[in-house]
């Protein structure tokens, strides 16, 4: 299992492009500097009227498939 942590700060307006499907992946950098591309649909539960803000933990299985995405 692989675990990554990263900060996220996207305004509501910026996330609309992802939410509406015109852009499907979000690029983030984890705390060690590794670049990750995460499908935007995984962030929908965290969207508020001010956007998505906070620190997140991403868990992937050994094949790179999403196990969980949680806000810390």
Q: What is the pTM of this model?
A: 0.86
Element (H, E) at 12: helix 12-19
Whether the pLDDT of residue 59 is over 90: the answer is yes
What pLDDT band is residue 2 in, cutting at 50, 70 and 90? Answer: very high
Q: How many C-beta atoms surround the C-beta of residue 10 within 10 A?
A: 20
Whether the pLDDT of residue 16 is over 80: the answer is yes
Tell me what the mean pLDDT of segment 17-23 comes to.
74
Whether the pLDDT of residue 21 is over 80: the answer is no
pLDDT for res 17? 80
Tell me what the mean pLDDT of segment 1-15 comes to.
93
């Amino acid at each position: 299992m692989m675990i990554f942590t990263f900060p996220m700060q996207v305004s509501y307006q910026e996330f609309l492009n992802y939410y509406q499907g015109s852009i499907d992946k979000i690029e983030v950098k984890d705390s060690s500097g590794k670049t990750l591309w995460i499908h935007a649909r995984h962030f929908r539960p965290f969207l508020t009227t001010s956007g998505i803000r906070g620190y997140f933990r991403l868990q992937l299985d050994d094949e790179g498939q999403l196990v969980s995405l949680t806000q810390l």
